[in-house]
Structure 1
Amino acid sequence: MKSFRLHVVIRVVLAVSFGLAAYYFGMLTPFWLMSAWMVLFFVVTIVSLIRYVEKSDRELSGFLMAIRQNDFTNTYPAARSRSNQLHRAFNVITAEFIKLRSEKESNFHFLKTVVEHSGVPLMAYTVDDEEVTLVNQSVKTLFGIPYFTKLGSLQRADPTLVETIRSLRTGDKVLVKVKINGEMMYLSIVTRELILQGRRNKVIAFHNINTELDQKEVESWQKLIRVMTHEIKNSVIPISTLAEVINDMLKGSGEGSFALGDLSPEDQDDLIVSIRTIEKRSKGLVKFVASYGDLARVPRPELQRVDLCEVVREVVRLQEKPLRKAGITLKTNFPKGALTLSLDGEMIQQVVINLVKNAAEALKDANTPNGQIQLVIAKYASEVVVQVADNGPGIEEEILDQIFIPFFTTKKEGSGIGLSYSKQIMRAHNGNLRVKSTGAGAVFELSFWVI
């Protein structure tokens, strides 16, 4: 910088000197030729000054253009340059850009390697022209397609899969059934949307959940069979035992049959009680089978745009008075304004009523003082949640994962299909019914995906 100032000052001084000399020789002396030479030197000095000053601008402009074109091959000799400090700055910036580009390329290759060797099938494509920009080996193996250029390439695996992916919005998670190479698969598909260089891109993750579904199916059947076996035994064993007793009463041991009139009044009373018990148990077994049929025929919801808050408020209006008579307080916490979702209002009311009644029975059975049920509706980024919470004893941990199993119940008069039926209704709405218990009450959550 000092060298730059010195060169500028020298040129300014020379320009001024040549100007004064030209004036002196031209105006005050007869040596006009000398004045002409001074004018020429003045012009040359001024041009030299301008070029020297603009040299830094030209170098800076060239440096910035090189950066714009990602050209970092230029070097600037600082040792012999008149602009040592500027050139040193250029070289430092160039070195930093080279370092950053190297790190960027390393990170890109690292991420590309991770994606390529990931066990989760991943692909990305641009939304405008559906050009595939990223696809790993797991996707190619899953669908049996060696090359991907466009999203439409997936039609070779399953014609409906492309339309499903096109309809997905960012954050959506869907379960689809596809047939690939003659094999039926269940795929969980998750999508995310990114804006890169002004272009919309979608990243799609596929997950083959056949193994998980098979395992869950086996577990569900095992749990269901245990519950059904227990229920059937409870009805069939007393029927069998009482039938044997009646048979022994009416049939002698080797002496032939007895007439009913030969039985003592006490034996006749026992016979009547036994027959009534058999009748009651038989009807209970028939009711059990009928309940199973009802559970297997969940009606299809008639979806309409409905205010969820108003649906739950109707439940409050129906249940508030009976709960007050039972000494239970019903509290609510709803968001302001309407919360419109696509659902079957009557079916959702049925679910909420069932949960409120279950909570009330839990509070009553536990003799909970100051019993309280709270209805809360909360909206999050991707879902809307309706909570039904009570301050009762909660649910024991060992049965927490069994309460949604058909016919499982801890109530003496319960059928064991209420919660299972409610969960199926929520699944028919592409939602879910969850439960959690901390020992200070139970919380049931109805979750709806926001579309």
Structure 2
Amino acid sequence: MARTENDGVERFSETHWKSLRYFNLYRLALATLLFFSALLYPSAFPVLSPDRGLQHLAPAGLYLVSTVAAVILAYRHRQHASMQLTSSVLIDVLVMTILIHAGGGLGSGLGSMLLVTLAGAGLVGQGRLVLFYAAMATLAVLFEQSYRALQNDFDAAGFFQAGIFCAGFFAVAVSARLLARRVIANEALARQRGVDLNNQTMISQRVIEEMQDGVLVLSRDGRVRQSNPRARQMLGLNEASDLGLATCSPELAQGFFDWCRGLGEAAVLTRVPASGFELRASFIPTESSERDVLAFLEDMGRLREQARQMKLAALGRLTANIAHEIRNPLSAISYAGELLHEERRGETYERLLRILMDNTQRLERIVSDVLELGRRDRAYRELIDLRDVLPPFVDECCAREHLPADVVSLELSGLAKLCFDRSHFDQVLWNLVGNALRHSRRSLASVRLLVRDARAAGWVEVHVIDDGEGVSEECRDQIFEPFFTTHHRGTGLGLYIARELCDANEAQLDLDSVGPGADFRLLGRAVGCR
């Protein structure tokens, strides 16, 4: 708030300019009073006696003109504030000294006007200038008193009175300056705290808006005073909602009222009909004047999903470690089985050996799938042209499964490009097509690979459709769960790994329809590979 000097240019704060304008307005009011008193009522003041009123009319007029000019400068010319203040104070000292001399000395009472001027200058002025103003007033009063002593007899009481006034000049100027510094410091501190509070409020508001949990401010009668976007989404409210809690969820409102009466728990589990969210609401009282209550809403579905993901992640790490330990003895068992297969010891022996080898191969597939799942985070996406990749894949698939070339059909349309890790895409495609072949009739076009542009711009859909019995309603929610399978030779990890690999490539895999056959849809980006 204080004045600064930069490249020799003086700069005052808005507060200082406002104080300077008020100071000049006070001087203008005083000059107007003196001028009209000298003009109309010269007997109103001892210094303006009837026989001297016209003599003082000219100084009073000049003083009025100078104060008008000072006011105009303070409003129009916002430069050289110290120079404007100094000239105003010196003019006041000169005028008041003339009036004091004309009024017969300090006994006229006009010396107090100098005290007011110095107090105002101390509030507005800067640094050592305040002491300069007090020194000039002191010199003026002492000069006037000395001149009076030369004209008349020496008056010791007059000099004593002048000394008291001079000491008062310095005391008032210094006190006013110290008071001004304290006021300026407090104002600067208040402004800085206001800025800090505003910044903190903005940060807190942004944090609340970005919270994954809903936040409500409830009145004691159950009305929603404030809410963050997540809370409005959970409760099915719009921006302009100012409804009672019972309108959103009667069960939640009942739990809130029970808590207010001390009959219920601090946390309530409820389901909101409008949005379908299952919520856990916690209530916390506040110290506001309205005794408002904070309500924190947690999405139980999200919490369960997070817990499931953490559980699966821990399980994945555990199974990956176990898979590494299993692979070595499993390889030894498989090798021993192959050696035993070379011997011919009867039908029972062959059947038991076949069971051993089949289960060994199944364990090998499970181990391979688990290890592949552990590499899902290492995705290096690139733009894959499906017109170049899918035809060789279809040929290889039919050749590997010893199928006619028309069992798997391919339909390409639109952009037919996909941002995906090439090895991940190959794994996903083999899992989906292998699953489709396993459940299909293996006749003409039993498995269809359909590629087309999605409704959203920049996305592409890859459908793997079979003509089997489809997925029942009971299995739809479990089809992507790990180790869930409806085939006696399946591992239950194929679709789960396929979805995990799609997630790692910012794609989506889901079951698109219910009915004859199954339609698995891969939705991925056609542009924007990073």
Alignment TM-score > 0.5, same fold: no
Please say which structure displays the higher CA radius of gyration. 2
Q: Which has the higher strand share?
A: 1
